[in-house]
Amino acid sequence: MSGSNMAPMDKLEAMNAFAKVVAAGSYAEAARRLGLTRSAVSKAVMELEQLLGARLLDRTTRRVTPTEAGLAYYERTTAILADVEETELQISRLHDEPRGILKINAPMSFGILYLGEAVAEFMRRYPELRIELLLNDRFIDPLEEGVDVTVRIGALSDSSLIARRLAPARLALVASPEYIAEHGTPAEPKDLANHRCLAYGHMATNSRWQLTHGDTVISANYVSALCSNNGEVLRAAALAGNGIANLPTFLVGPEIAAGRLQLVLPDYPPPSLGIFALYAPNRYLAAKTRLFIDFLTTRFGEGPNWDAF
């Protein structure tokens, strides 16, 4: 196939390959995401350029970037591909059977504790949909990583991504009854400096916790007995009586409800965060992605079960 004889389906596939190259910044990564060879992706893009009579990509040894014409074509192409996928999936939804691959990214602890079961239920509802769930704690750009939706926890920085709130993410200071019996409980935020504290992050950078009292934000000094970049490690240390931890209630809510941990300084809670679904802006949100986000919003909601204590 070449020039104007490119078949409609071949053209769509070539447009998809081109869009993946622009998003990934390389032929090799685009080929990996598409399950094709690098040469097949390169050939598809070259045929598009011949068809259009314009160079779409500037190629260097390190990265592939769109030309001015390529960027304009990319913007229209992504909208067209979204329209095609939306149409196909809308037809699938008539039978409640969205198809294709849904790629999801989420933080490790939340993914293991809550998202795994949610995905399992979602798969039972839509058995024709294939799921790829990747868990890690680093922030990713869904567009660059080829992910349909990424779940993130915390305050969101300004970006080109669209965010939809799935549920609240409250933080709480907690300690075990054994720790409180041995060391007492702080009466005011300033008392934290005299306690063993279990902190998220790095020893050199963390020395203050932000707490609230009404509309007032209070910065409380503390001394770390343990620092870790994993909340489950800190929860285990708190359960073992090793100090006071500042953790999200999706990690410690069940422990508080069972009496294995107790709230510390309940009148001075840390500022609340949120759990968000992030996705790249398109003219239309793919039906499979929208179905999944709607499902999570209904499942977790503003009164999630981890806050039932």
Estimate the share of the chain in helix, then strand, then coil, as percent rounded to the nearest 5: 45, 25, 30
Distance CA 112, CA 92 (A): 30
Taking a C-beta distance cutoff of 8 angstroms, is the pair 240, 194 a contact? no
Q: Say if residue 191's pLDDT is above 90.
A: yes
What is the Cα–Cα distance from 258 to 277, expressed in whole angstroms? 30
Assess whether pLDDT exceeds 90 at residue 143: no
| 264 pLDDT above the threshold of 70 | yes
Q: If pLDDT is split at 50, 70 and 90, which confidence band does 9 have?
A: very low
Residue 2 has pLDDT above 50, yes or no: no
Beta-ladder partners of 59? 64
Give the contacts of 43 (CB within 8 A, at least 6 positions apart): none
pLDDT tens-digit series, residues 79-120: 888 888 777 766 665 555 667 899 999 999 999 999 999 999
Instruction: Please write the tens of the pLDDT for every residue from 206-262.
Output: 589 999 999 999 999 998 999 998 899 999 999 999 999 999 999 999 999 999 999
Q: What is the rounded CA–CA span in Å between residue 62 and residue 44? A: 20
- DSSP code, position 127: T
The pLDDT assigned to 244 comes to 98
Q: At what angle do helices 8-24 and 27-34 cross, to 10 degrees?
A: 120
Question: What is residue 288's predicted lDDT score, i.e. its pLDDT?
Answer: 86
Q: Residue 15 pLDDT > 70, yes or no?
A: yes
- Rounded mean pLDDT of 168-181? 96
Specify the pLDDT at position 260: 98
Q: Which pLDDT does position 158 carry in this prediction? A: 59
Q: Nearest Cα to 200, choosing from 188, 208, 212, 192?
A: 208
- The pTM for the full model equals 0.66
Q: Report whether 82 contacts 12 (CB < 8 A).
A: no
User: Quick one: tokens of 306?
Assistant: 């981890």
State how far the Cα of 216 lies from the Cα of 154, in Å rounded to an integer. Answer: 20
Determine the pLDDT at residue 229: 86
Pull the structure tokens for residue 289.
């992605």
Q: Would you tell me how many other CB atoms lie within 10 Å of the CB of residue 182?
A: 10
**Phi (first) and psi of residue 234, to 5 degrees:** -70, -40
What residue ranges define each of the domains in the chain, with the CATH number in brackets? 3-91 (1.10.10.10), 95-168+273-307 (3.40.190.10), 171-263 (3.40.190.10)
Rounded distance between C-alpha atoms, residue 185 and residue 163, angstroms = 38
Query: Residue 90: what are its φ and ψ, rounded to 5°?
Result: -65, -40
Identity of the amino acid at 170 = R
249: which 2 tokens?
């209630």
Strands 57-59 and 100-106: unpaired
CA gap 198, 247 in Å, rounded: 9
Closest alpha carbon to 237 in 193, 175, 172: 175
**What per-residue confidence (pLDDT) applies to 154?**
82
Rounded mean pLDDT of the chain? 88
Tokens of 216: 């007032």
Contact criterion met (CB below 8 Å) for 66 and 74: yes
